[in-house]
Structure 1
């Protein structure tokens, strides 16, 4: 006997993950933590795509999730390169200090 998890549980989990990521982006001041929170928000979107794909039985959600993963990987690599470059030139990754330092 196979028990299926209802879609509303996936959507509630995705909403909680997205809200946690949004809270982290708005509150945190470390650039690396902000990038991790953006990744959390993208994963919440992936979970939503996959939940609806499972409910509808089609592959559209899987394709969308694949593209979101590709964008997240590109964002992570480019974002990390920018953070490293800023850290080398300014000596900090604190967003407030980077914003106030005119160079």
Structure 2
């Protein structure tokens, strides 16, 4: 059985992995993937804490978080497709340049 300490360590590791992906990568798709990793690590933490307290609230919050993350990912991917269609790149350095 997984203890609360090891579960929280795993969740914190995944959160920082997503945060590093968010900071280091310059591609919008990788940034979206990093955000999804961070959201999923927080949802995993909710499940571990709910299991530790012997409550089902953590699992219910997990369902809500995953539902919101799925809708956020679908909207984000639709935006990324439109941005790529018009600019032919997803590099944030290129996209952040102002037009003169």
Shorter-chain TM-score category?
Answer: over 0.9
| Superposition TM-score, scaled by structure 2 size | 0.95
The number of equivalent residue pairs is 100
The reply on whether 1:68 has 2:43 as its aligned counterpart is no
Structure 1: gaps (5+ residues): none
RMSD between aligned residues: 1.2
Runs (4+) off by over 6 Å: none
Give 1:101 deviation, angstroms: 4.7
Structure 2: gaps (5+ residues): none
Partner of 2:48: 51
Give 1:26 deviation, angstroms: 1.1
2:15 is matched with which residue: 10, 15, 18? 18
**How many Å separate the matches in 2 of 1:101 and 1:84?**
21
| Superposition TM-score, scaled by structure 1 size | 0.92
